[in-house]
Chains A and B, each alone.
Chain A
Amino acid sequence: MPPPPEGALIVTLTSADGRVTAVDARLTRPPVDRLLVGQPLATALARVPRLFTVCAAAQAAAAAGAVEAALGHSPDSETRAARARAVAIEAAENHAWYLLVAWPRHLGRPPDIAGLARLRKIARAAAASGERADLGALGEALRQGAAGPEAPWYKRGGAAPSTPGKGLGPLHPFDLRREAIGVLCGQLDAGLLPEADGGTVSTSRGRLTHTVALGADLTPTVWHIDAPTDRHFAPNGPFVQALLGQPLGPDSRDEAEALILAYDPCVSWQLYLTFLPPKAGGMRTSLPFAPLPL
């Protein structure tokens, strides 16, 4: 059976003497860049949002910004503002998906479909009007979703996001997301939405960057996409570093799964735990666990 068409994440934790001694996170991706390199610019730019429907606005804005940077062009203020609005609204919707659907299901509770539908309706209105009041209403709806008792930070004793503009200091992904939601809510309230920095935009999972190089005929010769999931689960990335050396036993499945979900990979995933005997050279016991039924 080939890997899932959208890609997959396979995580294997190896434990010896009760601690994690190795973390192998393998992320498979379809070679999307090959659909963009060598294409006429207009074709490549049109393909990006069609390839990534869930985060189409962010992908399109990052792609356009990267191409403009390669061309040495700067979009006008109206274009920059429209992209920023679309990216922020999409980020709010995706945060809401995480808060109201993904995380409750991890806890074994029913997702708040009605809440998500309400927020999406507000998001559509904000996208259509672009009015500050509608953006503020979206910020308030997201703030309410983040303040619900199912929010992941409540499991860790944290408070709901309230203070925008603080730095993203804490490293736990829950803290990062809570801070990011707080910042986004404040930006929506104020109607001051961050514009793309070249090919870099902010998404609900983190920074997304497109890097494009153009040939003499202006067709792309390089099109690299650096997505949050790639960084989070990189060989020396934060997920691996967070687990190395941590206590791990046969009962740690929930914690390991929760950490994967905290990093919110954008592909389906599987977790395997391997326990090595105390002395090297002995038998291994591999315990595969099913992916989360989100």
Chain B
Amino acid sequence: MYGYLLRRLLGTIPVMLVVALFIFLMLRLTPSDPAAIIAGDNATSEQVAQIRSQLGLDRPMVEQFFIWSGKVLTGDFGESFFFKKTVATLIGERIEPTLSLSLFTIVLAVLIAVPLGVLAAHRQGSWIDRMVMGFSVMGFSMPSFVVGYLLIYLFAVWLDWLPVQGYQRIAEGLGGWVRGLVLPSLTLAVIFVALIARMTRTSMLEVLSEDYVRTARAKGQSERVVLFRHALRNAAVPIVTVIGLGIALLIGGVVVTESVFTIPGLGRLTVDAVLARDYPVIQAVILLFSFVYVMINLAVDMTYTVLDPRIRY
């Protein structure tokens, strides 16, 4: 397994190289100029050219790529064109809200979705099953920003239970941190609950008809033990796969959700950087997201061996 792990880790290198080249070219080939944006509306062409030169954007594209990639290899992602801060500092400042939102969402989604899926499978054909399936279809169909606005209207504007927007760092108080995360996490969780509950139900239905489940019941095991200890564990591989995919999808979700809820995380940083054509920030964030994506896939593959000892790499 260690050999496999090493091979997979080495495999991330060409993936990251391709991502780096792709994002670098995409940014340079779009019809935009960060220098013109920085200079402002009253700036003359000369002022724009001066800024372009200061940023090194007047150099040949190949030279720009080698300068940037050389720095990245030494761990230097450069300085934001706008903020006069290093990209690493900016990412460091923004990572807590995004991690909080992601973890809160995943935990929430798993805690809701897995029992719902198990229940739906256990009561196949009942009203509970139909409700879970109905919710799944709805969850898949509604874009997260629509879910967000509906939740805001209901819980923040109408009932006045939660804040409309904003994020409070965990160091400033657990209460404010939780309050700020409830609505954005629920917004993001809807689609994952739909996805995971559906997969859990399908997987459980397959497992529940297996002989060993019948044997467990014949031995007098309680239904809870049958469902959660015997059936769920054997149904877990596809569920974990979906959760892994969900985490990857979450990366896209936080971009929209952080903007709607004014959460100063990596998603919001990405949107701001794209709108401002802040190349060093966009490049670093996309590289980071890609790396996280690759690592999540690797972690999911590794989890299979724990859940099912028959799987060997």
A and B, one complex?
no
* Residues of chain A whose beta carbon lies under 8 Å from any beta carbon of chain B: none
* Residues of chain B whose beta carbon lies under 8 Å from any beta carbon of chain A: none
